[in-house]
Amino acid sequence: MVESSPETSRQLGVEVRTMTAAAGSAGRILVPLLLCALLASSGAYVLDDSDGLGREFDGIGAVSGGGATSRLLVNYPEPYRSEILDFLFKPNFGASLHILKVEIGGDGQTTDGTEPSHMHYALDENYFRGYEWWLMKEAKKRNPHIILMGLPWSFPGWLGKGFNWPYVNTHLTAYYVVSWILGAKHYHELDIDYIGIWNERSFDTSYIKVLREMLDSQGLQRVKIIASDNLWEPISSSMLRDPQLSKVIDVIGAHYPGTRVSQRAKLTEKKLWSSEDFSTLNSDDGAGCWGRILNQNYVNGNMTSTIAWNLVASYYEELPFGRCGLMTAQEPWSGHYVVESPIWVSAHTTQFMQPGWYYLKTVGHLQKGGSYVALTDGLGNLTVIVETMSHKHSKCIRPFLPFYNVSAQLATFDLKGSFLLDSNGTFTLELQEDELFTLTTLTTGRKGSYPMPPKSQPFPHVYKDNFNVDYPFFSEAPNFADQTGVFEYYMNLEDPGEHRFTLRQVLNQRPITWAADASSPISILGDYQWTNLTISCDVYIETPEKGGVFIAGRVSKGGLLVRVARGVFFWIFANGLYRVTGDLGGWIIYSSGYVEVTAKKWYTLTLTIEGNVSSGKLNGKVLWENIHVKYPKNGWAAIGTRSFEFAQFDNFHVEVSH
């Protein structure tokens, strides 16, 4: 995909200023009409505000979460972490996003991991867990005008009262969500602008109304409600049938709409957003997808905001939807990151208009394929974005994209209305396939840059963590990626000795799930290509009789597929049993037996896997050996618990041999 060059010229009152991705540049910006013999002009496209303006532009954004997509970003060393944040949020530098949408952590697996809730239990409140608070503050630091959104994927189990359903008590769930908004303001000086209902799951009309009432009762009238972060239906029909429901919903948000909107959604006369889109590998073809939908979501569907899942691919690449972020930052141990081409496609829109601008009514498709939009701030500024993304190079991961053709063409634009500053308000572009042009009167955009980050490096072959952090800035230990359950730094007041600071699994009941969480909490770490390794960890079972813990190697699956994870799992249980299994579910049993183990006591587990053979030690003594493992050949290291129970881990150590 080619983007036009950073040359500028002034003609007809419009400055042409565009940005170049690493792919190269075009440089053909204005074409004399006398040289158009070979490319027949497709007629003129009028840009006119004489008949009023179109819809208000609400911004371009991205999602952190849904889930744990920013997990590895937080422990990047400086200056690289700040550089990544600048490429995402700094105005007139990189993606320059207008909107940041974050997951309201609910303790459940939500695609690539779990994110912790601010209320694990009914009487528990903590507004410093996870990393979304930090991320929102970093975004605001760079762009004080950035719009903040919150949306739950999963919910802590206590809200369901035994059911996997967040609407058992609508007032209680509304209280939980409003508490998150109030906590954002009280503890972090963050004003949440939009709040969602339940990501890609059922909505409850009475809950939406209760949520509005509770927001208003807490002085949060400025917080707008977006619903239902799923499809255009049935939310649009429900709003048309129920005027009270329609009154409390400010925006209809649909996911992966394919640039199309339902007729009933239009009839609501509400703002229409693509509130989650993209979700595509961040290659040049992914950038083509992003460039096409940023224009055509409005041209075809009158959608005034498009929000990408996800913000930055900061999770282990072998988890589901690897590298489906606007940029890639998945190596905090090396500092390596990649500013992928979707960043610069974003910049073509975000740097040359702001929320509050208006689309012209004169937007549309080009005769030989592609589209154009034009926006104004009402103060004389005009930005025009033209894209000619081909079918082959702009497929998004979903939905299916019907075939269409794009070919080389000349596009002549006629400026009318307030934009006609002299007698000849015409300009012509020579367009090839897979190009993106931005023409604007603004002079503020630029392609930001930093020195090259460090080279890519594999995860360290020797890794230790004793979790001895007195006042942790983040609640989770670096590089551990929770896939079921939540593992947090813990100060063990009962043990002033070497196990005073530990990592603890803190959920004591299954959350209201969004995905297929495993039955056993698990946190993974390391390099998916690891084959031969030794893992050791001190473990502490807190639950008598029924409790249990494990360490594991060659773990094959995580994210949405964590329930079917294979590997070598070494378990001990408070009832005096040990077990070696080939899967997290415990269906494939390699070995089992009795051992002197009880709750409330520290033990050291050691697991060694070499080739097709594995062995395990308890407190340094061989407990089992010569167990053959044919599959899988590689995978992550992991720790975990038998069920949703309290348990602690300390002195984690993994050593990889070649």
> Among all residues, which ones are annotated catalytic?
200, 276
The amino acid present at 114, given as its one-letter code, is T
- What six digits make up the tokens of 386? 């033209």
Contacts of 44 by beta carbon, 8 Å cutoff, 6+ apart: 412, 413, 414, 426
Question: Minimal CA–CA distance to 537: which of 445, 652, 392?
Answer: 652
Q: In the chain, what is the straight-line distance between the N-terminal and C-terminal CA atoms, in Å?
A: 40
Contact 491/145 with Cβ under 8 angstroms? no
Q: Which residue(s) pair with 252 in the sheet? A: 227, 272
Phi then psi for residue 504, to 5 deg, are -125, 135
CA atoms of 643 and 547, how far apart (whole Å): 7
Question: Minimal CA–CA distance to 646: which of 535, 494, 512?
Answer: 494
Phi then psi for residue 70, to 5 deg, are -105, 15
CA atoms of 395 and 402, how far apart (whole Å): 10
CA atoms of 34 and 44, how far apart (whole Å): 16
Length of the chain equals: 658
CA atoms of 313 and 72, how far apart (whole Å): 9
| Rounded to 5°, angle at Cα 423 from 421 and 428 | 85
Contacts of 423 by beta carbon, 8 Å cutoff, 6+ apart: none
The amino acid present at 53, given as its one-letter code, is L
CA atoms of 121 and 414, how far apart (whole Å): 62
Half-sphere exposure of 537 (CA within 13 A, CB side): 29
Give Cα separations from 481 to 69, 129, 621, 651 (angstroms): 10, 14, 29, 17
